[in-house]
Amino acid sequence: MKILKMKILKWYIFREFIWPYLGSMAFFTMLLLMERVMSFVRLVASGYANIFDLFMLVFYSIPPTLAITMPMSTIMGALVAVSRLSNDGEITAMRAAGIRLTSIFMSLYIGGTIIGISSFLLTDRLVPTGNIKFRTLYQKLTIARPTIQIDIHSINKISGNVTMLVENVDDKTGDLINITLFQKEKGKYARTITSKKGYFLPHDISEKYLTLRLINGNILDPSEDKKSKIFNISKFEAMDLFIQIVKGEMKNIAKSPRDMSVKELRERISKMKKGSASYNVYTVEFHKKIAVPFACILFVFLGTPFAIGRGRGGKGLGLGIGVLIIFLYYIFLLSLERIGKSGLINPALAVWIPNILFLLAGVINLIYRKRV
């Protein structure tokens, strides 16, 4: 009977954890994806991608984003769950009944372990595939874009014989304002075209020319004889100027260390000279694929004691502590990752130092809370 009651209690505590965890993961994932989505939307608005391409780019971006947000969300879920139980006096009642803190939090530790294993499998299997497919599709879409950089108040060379001066660019529509173009032909004066407004039309990847549509302008045509100083002037309401462009070529997508599984990284490391720059980079990535998922367990272990006994106003403080812990963890991880890759300290140790420090902090905090 006692075992049954403990199972019910553990399941009850786990349910308190899982919904805040899922909510936090959805929030952090959407937050991190937002910037990428905006750049993808610009591709669609410019005509270089369709809605399906946008969906696939976002889809391929989800696994690497989840690899970051899954550990982050565990501490938020644990803090919200334990804060609620503590504020309602349920933690105090459990301890009064003789239940130890480690037993109360056991379901959260198990949940963190399951999430950590899932995060590892995601990082090891899906993230490499997602990264490769994302870069392949993004490259396919972006090589169809014009390789023309327009700078205002500067001479812009947009093809072999065409240069352009632009006074301004409309921030909302991207239209070019007050354009002057010069078309040079061998043995002749340059042809000059002025226009109040212009914009590039969307084009297919198979097309060899880029279409610049000009609105309300004039054409100043030189005479066939270069020695002559006679020019012909004509006006137009709209005119399409076809500009030959050089398109990029699809390149083979090489696997970076982040695109490899643990097995592939281990095989690469075994063939490298210990202490070399490549060895350090691959070793850091190998241990990072294990250390970051392990943080799912670590964050639960670290976060639960912070939420105990903070009174009615403690929930907001607990969430603040959670954000602070996440911030400090990733700052330490990124800084030590860079140091490890440089070879100043052991690359494997560099990745695990944040986990070791935060684990010690969690143990000390848990011991202190047991005595309170």
What DSSP letter does each residue of 91-120 carry, written as one string? HHHHHHTT--HHHHTHHHHHHHHHHHHHHH
Q: The tokens 């609105």 sit on which residue?
A: 215
Q: What percent of the chain lies above the pLDDT cut of 90?
A: 25
The better pLDDT of the pair 38, 113 is held by: 113
How far is the C-alpha of 348 from the C-alpha of 286, rounded, in Å? Answer: 8
Q: What is the mean pLDDT of the chain?
A: 80
Phi-psi region at 304: left, alpha or beta (left = phi > 0; alpha = psi -120 to 50)? alpha
pLDDT at 309: 54
How far is the C-alpha of 27 from the C-alpha of 110, rounded, in Å? Answer: 23
Per-residue pLDDT reduced to its tens digit, 244-280:
765 554 455 557 788 889 999 999 899 888 888 889 9
How far is the C-alpha of 8 from the C-alpha of 301, rounded, in Å? Answer: 21
The better pLDDT of the pair 344, 233 is held by: 344
Q: What tokens appear for 229 in the block?
A: 């100083």
Please state the rounded mean pLDDT for residues 143-171.
66
Whether 46 shows a pLDDT value over 70: the answer reads no
302: pLDDT confidence band, cut at 50, 70 and 90? confident
Per-residue pLDDT reduced to its tens digit, 89-135:
777 777 777 777 777 788 888 899 999 999 999 999 999 988 888 88
Highest mean pLDDT among 224-233, 335-344, 360-369: 335-344
pLDDT at 350: 94
What stretch of H or E contains 196?
strand 191-200
> Which residues make Cβ contacts (< 8 Å) with residue 347, sequence separation at least 6?
279, 280, 281, 283, 284, 287, 340, 341
- 216 φ/ψ angles, rounded to the nearest 5 degrees: 55, 85
335: pLDDT confidence band, cut at 50, 70 and 90? very high
pTM, two decimal places: 0.67
Cβ atoms of 126 and 289 closer than 8 Å: no
